[in-house]
């Protein structure tokens, strides 16, 4: 029976502001990527989400991004490799400390937004992210399937969790369609679930240009800041269950 992890980016509010769905989403996923304060989130959000994850047996992952609250970490900003490496270590360290007070631990790192996209195609950025993971004891990395960082991390002995996005459109080369385009985000729960199933069962997605793109994944992501995230996650779980796909934590998918 095939299996897959379902992850979601959570804790991406700021101060008294939140998206309001995080607690409901936690019951529908197996891994949570918790914002670490640079693109969103903060100590209260990190503590609250980590606490709820532990209560629901959901894996805790760090979701570090560029220091860009204004742009939600989705703007391309130039940083040196040293700056990238150290900003990741700084953010993950904060979440590790908070999680430890709750009796848990951070199980993996998933870069956020522009940092994630840059590491997918740029070897210099990818090397900085990998260096941070190594410095943090070799934490596994959630990375785009078939990306530059996926290949480089494996070569350096870092465990990778290959990720596919159920609610995002793909280009022919396997990269995500730019959010500047209206068709970048898939809003229909039925279409989101269908793309998730295609990735898991067939190892492929259909690009925005109608072409088949091979995409083998260990984990499926739904963005927590999307208004339809709850409906999409419920539909994904329903469709996967109907097709005999088990939903487990990513490291279990990998055999760990």
Residue whose entry in the numeric block shows the structure tokens 């693109």? 39
Residue 64 dihedral angles phi and psi, to the nearest 5°: -80, 145
* CA–CA dist 22, 19 (Å, integer): 7
Note the pLDDT of residue 256.
58
The domain tally of the chain equals 1
Do 147 and 121 contact (CB within 8 A), yes or no? Answer: yes
* CA–CA dist 83, 89 (Å, integer): 10
Residue with more model confidence, 46 or 255: 46
Res. 129 pLDDT band, cuts 50 70 90: very high
Q: Please give the mean pLDDT across all residues of the chain.
A: 95
* CA–CA dist 199, 201 (Å, integer): 6
pLDDT in tens, 239-251: 999 999 999 999 8
Note the pLDDT of residue 72.
93
| Strand-pair partners of 170 | 176
Note the pLDDT of residue 16.
76
What CATH number is attached to the domain comprising 248? Answer: 3.20.20.370
pLDDT in tens, 105-116: 999 999 999 999
Res. 224 pLDDT band, cuts 50 70 90: confident
Cα 249 to its chain centre, rounded Å, is 13
The count of other CB atoms within 10 Å of the CB of residue 49 is 30
Res. 130 pLDDT band, cuts 50 70 90: very high
Range of the domain at 207: 3-253
pLDDT in tens, 137-185: 999 999 998 899 999 999 999 999 999 999 999 999 998 998 889 999 9
């Amino acid at each position: 029976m095939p299996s897959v992890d379902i992850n979601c980016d959570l804790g991406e509010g700021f101060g008294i502001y939140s998206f309001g769905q995080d607690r409901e989403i936690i019951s529908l996923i197996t891994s949570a990527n918790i914002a670490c304060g640079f693109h969103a989130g903060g100590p209260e959000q990190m503590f609250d989400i980590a606490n709820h994850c532990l209560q629901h047996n959901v894996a805790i992952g760090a979701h570090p991004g560029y220091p860009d609250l204004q742009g939600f970490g989705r703007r391309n900003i130039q940083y040196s490799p040293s700056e990238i490496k150290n900003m990741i270590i700084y953010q993950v360290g904060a979440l590790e400390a908070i999680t430890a007070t709750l009796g848990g631990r951070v199980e993996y790192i998933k870069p956020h937004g522009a940092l994630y996209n840059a590491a997918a195609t740029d070897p210099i950025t990818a090397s900085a992210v990998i260096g941070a993971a190594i410095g943090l004891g070799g934490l596994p990395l959630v990375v785009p399937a078939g990306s530059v960082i996926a290949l480089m991390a494996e070569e350096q002995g870092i465990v990778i969790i290959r990720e596919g996005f159920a609610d995002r459109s793909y280009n022919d080369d396997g990269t995500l369609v730019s959010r500047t385009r209206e068709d970048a985000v898939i809003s229909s729960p039925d279409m989101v679930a269908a793309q998730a199933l295609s990735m898991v069962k067939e190892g492929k997605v259909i690009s925005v240009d109608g072409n088949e793109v091979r995409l083998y994944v260990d984990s499926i992501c739904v963005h927590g800041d999307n208004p339809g995230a709850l409906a999409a996650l419920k539909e994904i779980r329903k469709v996967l269950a109907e097709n005999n796909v088990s939903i487990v934590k990513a490291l279990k998918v990998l055999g760990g």
